[in-house]
Structure 1
Amino acid sequence: MMLFKILFIVGGLVLMVNARCDLTDDPLELIECLSHLSTMLLGFAKNDISRVCRSTSLIAQCAQGHLSECVGQQLGIAAFNEIKHLALNCCPDRNSANCSIRDSTLKDQRCFAADSLVTLPNGQHKSITQLQSGDTILAYDDRTKQLIHTHLITMLDFQLHRFALFKQLTTLSGRQLSLTSSHLLPTSEQTYVMAKNLRIGMDIYVMNDEGVLMSETITNITDVVKQGYVAPLTAEGTLIVNNIASSCYATINSHHVAHAAVAPMRWWYRLFGMSWKGSEEGEGIHWFAKMLYEIAVFIVPSIIHY
């Protein structure tokens, strides 16, 4: 449980620093606010609704006092509005008709189809299921719109035997990518869009035969069922899959919020490395991904999409 507390506090600090929030002059007040958040998480993990409800009013007070001007507004103001709603409508009666708390059972997040390929720096392709921690692959820089190198940190989900429904995208040059409906993809409109919201005629980024990234039009979108799916996490938060630029993230509707939330994993990887060694590690969802999902479902359900 102490690890949960530490990761949650670090994650909160990362989000606030990235947002350049103008917080409180007293760091002890900030620490106290973050401790209320960790208490709420512990209560949720133990299904202790009374502990959660005791924390909501304290968190709301902190939000008004120290975070109301913060630009982590997708995760700041929106989050604390949800907390206020929870306090008013869910405490102590979780079964209230106005309570927006969702079932905390983890939904299948999925990601890319297991038959997908990633691109190595030398131009060769490698099965996405064969990636191991530390492998260098090509990724997408959403600031420069150029190809860059990145390292695999770990797999957020790894399922080779289960079936899933995918959105299969086809571009003008015949490039195809199968990914689940809530997965994010960068578009030429400068935004990340979930696969279920992509439309024929929209432009996404593809790598051509010369190894150059360019925008290309989606010409077809179909639903397909395939066996196996994996969710790689890279240091950049992006990667090139089947020659198409993609985010590593799904379910949360903001690529940048999701990327900030996994900052503790990137720090851990840089300091100590990780040891994902492929299929021999076994199947399932990474514990950190589970934790982030549970936090978001409980505190900020409005940013979760399936």
Structure 2
Amino acid sequence: MSSLMFDLFVFILMNRITAGANAAVTYDSTCTCEQISTNACMTYTCVSIPQEPKCFPGSSQIALDDGSFKALSDIMIGDRVLVNKHNIHEPIIGFIHAKRNSIFDFLAIEIQSVAFNSSSTLMVSPNHLIFDFDSNNVRFAGYFRIGERVQVIHNNQIIPGEIISIQLTKQQGYYAPLTESGTIVVNGVLASNYATVSNHVLAHRIMSIYRWLIKLVATSTSSEQISWILEVM
């Protein structure tokens, strides 16, 4: 078994074993009343299903290589976007998943830049990975608390951005862009391309299979379409 295939096996195994401890999973519940008595429901049945990772809403702002910004909903495959503090811009090579229509729930994380006295709001799903400033670890967005700090990119350097509020918000569409490095800067905050699995390094290594395959197979320029390669994986 090749090293890459072994990693894939370990990845799947870890994802099954540690789902409860390591995944920031939220659920949608639907309840149906089975028996009503004096205007009160006496018996009901509820069904809960895990919410799919939604990553970022379409209104998220992405920095391009010409210094301008573009809403994530307008980003196309091939657009060169900022991915780290070294002013490196990489092309969007695909979308892990995307949905342009409908309204979805996100966390609205308001971030205060300590060094430059400016603030921004990152809207992200709870189970998406973003970078912690103090530990340099990558954590689920839903695990951050007020007072903790994330990595903000400003003038080609990483500066601390303190979380000053966390609220729920509803936004249109969701998108999970994919770059060669596995990172992207969204609303000034350094974020991973990945969600659901808590290990960014392992997820990036496994996704190298997909990145390699889409170089061999032409991908659609429409962010609405998820490659059949990724669906098979």
Fold match (TM-score > 0.5): yes
In structure 2, distance between residues paired with 1:15 and 1:203: 36
> Paired residue for 1:205?
151
1:133 shift after superposition = 2.1
Secondary structure at the aligned position of 1:184 is classed as strand
- Paired position in structure 1 for 2:34: none
* One-letter identity of the residue aligned with 1:194: F
Secondary structure at the aligned position of 1:278 is classed as coil
Consecutive unaligned residues in structure 1, runs of 5 or more: 1-8, 20-33, 38-71, 83-104, 293-306
Shift of 1:273: 6.2
* Counterpart residue number, 2:63: 119
Q: Distance in 1 between matches of 2:12 and 2:100?
A: 37
- What CA deviation, in whole Å up to 9, does each residue of 1:4-27 have, x standing for no partner? xxxxx8xx63264xx7xxxxxxxx
**Percent identity at matched positions?**
25
| Counterpart position of 2:172 | 227
Shift of 1:146: 4.0
Is 2:89 the counterpart of 1:165? no
Cα distance change of structure 1 residues 276 and 216 upon mapping to structure 2, 3 Å threshold? same
- Are the aligned partners of 1:153 and 1:274 in contact in 2 as well (CA < 8 Å)? no
Cα root mean square deviation, aligned? 2.9
Tell me the alpha carbon deviations over residues 37-82 of structure 1, each in whole angstroms, 9 at most, x when there is no partner. Answer: 7xxxxxxxxxxxxxxxxxxxxxxxxxxxxxxxxxx6xx38747979
**Are residues 169 and 80 of structure 1, via their aligned partners in 2, closer, same or farther at CA, if it must alter by over 3 Å?**
closer
What per-residue deviation string (whole Å, max 9, x for no partner) do you get for residues 216-267 of structure 1? Answer: 2111111111121111111111101111111110111111121111111221
TM-score (normalised: structure 1): 0.57
**1:130 maps onto 2:57 in alignment:** no
Deviation at 1:148, TM superposition (A): 2.2
State the structure with bigger RCO (CA 8 A, min sep 6), 1 or 2: 2
Distance in 2, matches of 1:78 and 1:277, equals: 33
Shift of the 277–191 alpha-carbon distance from structure 1 to 2, 3 Å rule, reads same
Q: Which amino acid aligns with 2:130?
A: L
- Does residue 192 (structure 1) correspond to residue 132 (structure 2)? The answer is no
Kindly provide the amino acid, as one letter, of the partner of residue 164 in structure 1: F
Q: State the alpha-carbon separation in 1 of the partners of residues 101 and 12 from structure 2.
A: 38
Q: Could you tell me how far apart the structure 2 residues matched to 1:197 and 1:238 are?
A: 19
Q: Deviations over 1:67-109 (max 9, x none)?
A: xxxxx6xx38747979xxxxxxxxxxxxxxxxxxxxxx98522
**Which ranges of structure 2 fall in alignment gaps of 5 or more residues?**
19-48, 113-117
2:54 corresponds in structure 1 to 110
How far residue 215 of structure 1 moved from its aligned partner, in angstroms, is: 2.0
Amino acid across the alignment from 1:217: E
Partner of 1:264: helix, strand, or coil? helix
